[in-house]
Amino acid sequence: MKISTLIILVAVVIATPFVLQKCSFKKTAQNENLIMVGTCADYAPFEFIDDAGEFTGFEMEIIKEISKKINIKIQIKNMQFEMLIPDLQLGRLDIIAAGITPTPERSQQMNFSKPTLDKDPLLIISPKNQPINDINELQGKDVLVNAGYTADLFMSKKNGINLKRLPTVADAFLALRNNDAAAFVTAKTAVAPFFQKYGKDEFNIVEIPEIFDSYAFGISNRKPELLEKINKAITEMEEDGTLAQIKTKWGLND
């Protein structure tokens, strides 16, 4: 081996760790501005996947608009609703955008943004030919809820009711139409597409008095500065009319 060749090889070996270190640092620096957003994209009109395979819906549109306002890059990850909070706590997610309702228990696990929508009532939906007209009529009956959502949390505190937890609104409507339960309890905003699909006249619909959902983004406790930026962006969207326009687009006017 020529001495000149040996010198070149030695130089390459010595330089390689520095090159790798530089590349690794560059990748890390790029990722610092990438915000991971977790969702459960089966909750229209809040979040779902359209025919083109893109995330869309009320909250998806808001979070994309916020990302432009505060100059961050977001990556949206679709997952089971039950996994969202654990992944946020483990640092795998920075934001939850999944029709999540602030509660005292959840506030110990994450920060919440300003609400983007509130005063969404819970409904008792039952077959027209076997109507349930009051929450007390659910005693001793099988009742459908979506796992982890507000209806689940609320109904879990009621004694004498057998809850059947299903992952999606679509699953619950299918089970209700198959007579697998006496009723389905869910938020009003989640059901419009299914009333259109099956016909609203097929169901008996009753509001639960004084029980309302509100919706906000869940934000990692590790990122208080992100919470501040998101709240500022939501305020700007309220003031300039952008939030109202998005609500109108998705049929969610107050």
Q: Is 108 helix (H, G, I), strand (E, B) or coil?
A: coil
CA 185 to chain CA centroid, nearest Å: 18
pLDDT, tens digit (0-9, with 9 covering 90-100), for 22-75: 333 333 444 667 999 999 999 999 999 999 999 999 999 999 999 999 999 999
What angle, rounded to 10 degrees, do the helices at 58-69 and 224-239 form? 110
Residue that wins the pLDDT comparison between 126 and 253: 126
Confidence band of 79 (pLDDT split at 50, 70, 90) = very high
pLDDT, tens digit (0-9, with 9 covering 90-100), for 147-195: 989 999 999 999 999 999 999 999 999 999 999 999 999 999 999 889 9
Are 252 and 189 in contact, with CB atoms under 8 Å apart?
A: yes
Q: What is the dihedral of CA 238, 188, 103, 241, to 10 degrees?
A: 0
Q: Which residue has the tokens 């039950």?
A: 82
Domains and CATH numbers, the chain: 33-116+216-249 (3.40.190.10), 119-213 (3.40.190.10)
How far apart (Å, rounded) are the C-alpha atoms in residues 65 and 241? 13
How far apart (Å, rounded) are the C-alpha atoms in residues 139 and 53? 42
Q: Which of 238, 211, 8 is nearest to 114 (CA)?
A: 238
Residues of the chain with pLDDT > 90, as a percent, come to 80
Identify the pLDDT of residue 68: 96
